Amino acid sequence: MSNDKIKDLLGTEVRKGNPFRGIYVNPNPQELIKLALSRMDKQLRSLPTKGLLLSRVKKRALNKLDFLEAFFKKYLLSIIKKMPYLDTIHPFYRSIINIWSSVDDIKIELAKIYGAYKLILRFIDRYKEKIRHISPRVDYRDTKGQKKAIKEIRKIETECFGRIFSVIKSLKKEFRHLSDIVIKMKKLPDLDPSLPVVVVVGPPNAGKSSFVKLVSNARVEIASYPFTTKNITFGHLEKQENKLVLKRAQIVDTPGLFDKPLEGRKKEELLALNAIKYLANVVLFLFDGSSMAVMSPEEQLNVLSVVISFFGKNRAIILAINKVDIPKEEAIQKIKLELDRRYNTKPILISVKEQKNIDKIIELIWADLSK
């Protein structure tokens, strides 16, 4: 299949948001064949039962091939049309694909499916032509001639079915792999490429998900994320004036991805991290300033170092210490002093629970997104 042809087909039916929603690939070709035969039988019940037997057998055989042509054309092309064009989807989704597979492998599999579709069409055209040319002028009184013609039609029909189903069965590996990838990709949240993204990072239990849920003005989406037992929290942030929405952004919590150094991580983990990097326009780092923090101030500062080295010094990073409603003053002072010494900056003290200074964080986010 030419590259131009797949560009014309790929993604023509894909939805906005997560481009893998609405796609279904049956991983079992045998089940697909059974479904096709079942639906074909139902449709053929409406065919007339009167008239010359040879004519009815021929018409029934041609109807069977017409049905299979339409069925497999719709199914195979729907996979291609609904599968997004992988060169143009958001790098976030492309990076996640490369964790489990590779974009190139999926392109090859889609090309095989398209090739199978074209091959099935050629088979059906060829066998329909053969059936049409079977004894078109057999006299209805010629019993032997009719039986011979009917036998030939059924032989051609069986042979055609066998070749079609062999092609479908040959896609077992492709169907299974694409089904697995699609199921995994569907679990990711919806992303609007036209909106900027605020990525919330920090040590465990710093209140990242709670912050996202608090400031999100739209439905918060919870989804699993590769190579972590936690979920990614994805919401929308709106700037309003007199109930009029002036600006919108997406905001996402990272599920403990930055709790350890980048060095020595598996390739798959780094790809999962890179997907987050592609998202971030602004980074909000939350420290845990409570007496119940699971990391010491030094450990939390080490997480910040990982985040800065990963996102780069040129990326806008907002710093805040959360849970000041249940503070551990010694820890808060240690964090403040080290931030001043290392980065010449001061954090904002906030409480997501009591909604203290949340408005200041929001103002900084909009200011950084406007730069």
Task: Find the range with the poorest average confidence among 6-15, 152-161, 247-256, 294-303.
Answer: 6-15
Q: What is the pLDDT of residue 288?
A: 97
Q: Does residue 302 contact residue 332 with C-beta atoms inside 8 Å?
A: no
pLDDT (tens digit per residue) in 100-121: 999 999 999 999 999 999 999 9
Using the Cα atoms of residue 24, residue 29, residue 31 and residue 35 in order, give the sign of their dihedral.
Answer: positive
Please tell me the predicted confidence (pLDDT) of residue 1: 47
Residues 317 and 311 sit within 8 Å (Cβ to Cβ) = yes
Q: In the predicted model, what is the mean pLDDT of residues 303-320? A: 93
**The token pair that represents 369 in the structure block:** 């997104």
- Segment 120-130, tens digit of pLDDT: 999 999 999 99
Phi, psi at residue 235, to the nearest 5°? Answer: -140, -175
Taking alpha carbons only, the member of 38, 35, 58, 36 closest to residue 47 is 58
Architecture of the CATH domain 3-186: Up-down Bundle (1.20)
Looking at the chain, the whole-number percentage of residues with pLDDT higher than 70 is 93
Can you tell me the distance from the alpha carbon of 368 to that of 317, in angstroms, rounded to the nearest whole number?
9
* Residue 73 burial class via C-beta count within 10 angstroms: exposed 0-12, middle 13-18, buried 19 and up: middle
Q: What is the maximum span of the chain, computed from C-alpha positions, in angstroms?
A: 106
Percent of the chain with pLDDT over 90: 69
Three-class secondary structure assignment of 265-322: CCHHHHHHHHHHHHHCCEEEEEEECECCCCCCHHHHHHHHHHHHHHHCCCCEEEEEEE
Residue reference for tokens 């449709």: 43
Residue position matching structure tokens 């780094």: 270
Confirm if 212 and 253 have CB atoms less than 8 A apart.
yes
Question: What is the C-alpha separation between 80 and 87, in angstroms, rounded?
Answer: 14
Q: Are 253 and 233 in contact (CB under 8 A)?
A: yes
**Across 340-359, average pLDDT:** 97
Confidence of residue 193 (pLDDT cuts 50, 70, 90): confident
Whole-number pLDDT of residue 267: 85
Residue in this structure with the two tokens 């249940």, named with its chain if needed: 326
**What is the pairing mode between strands 348-349 and 316-322?**
parallel
pLDDT reported for residue 256: 79
Q: Which CATH class is domain 197-369?
A: alpha beta
Confidence of residue 22 (pLDDT cuts 50, 70, 90): confident
**Where exactly are the structural domains of the chain?**
3-186, 197-369
Predicted pLDDT of residue 186 = 92
Q: How far apart are CA 328 and CA 291, in angstroms?
A: 5
Each residue of 37-90: pLDDT tens digit?
Answer: 999 999 888 766 676 788 889 999 999 999 999 999 999 999 999 999 898 889
Task: Compute the mean pLDDT over every residue in the chain, rounded to the nearest whole number.
Answer: 91
Number of neighbours of residue 285 by Cβ within 10 angstroms: 24
Residues 6+ apart with CB under 8 A from 260: 306
Which of 151-160, 246-255, 260-269, 289-298 is least confident? 260-269
Question: 249 to each of 86, 192, 197, 264, how far by Cα in Å?
Answer: 24, 9, 6, 34
Let me know: does 238 contact 248? Beta carbons within 8 Å.
Answer: yes
Cα(337)–Cα(343) distance, integer angstroms: 10
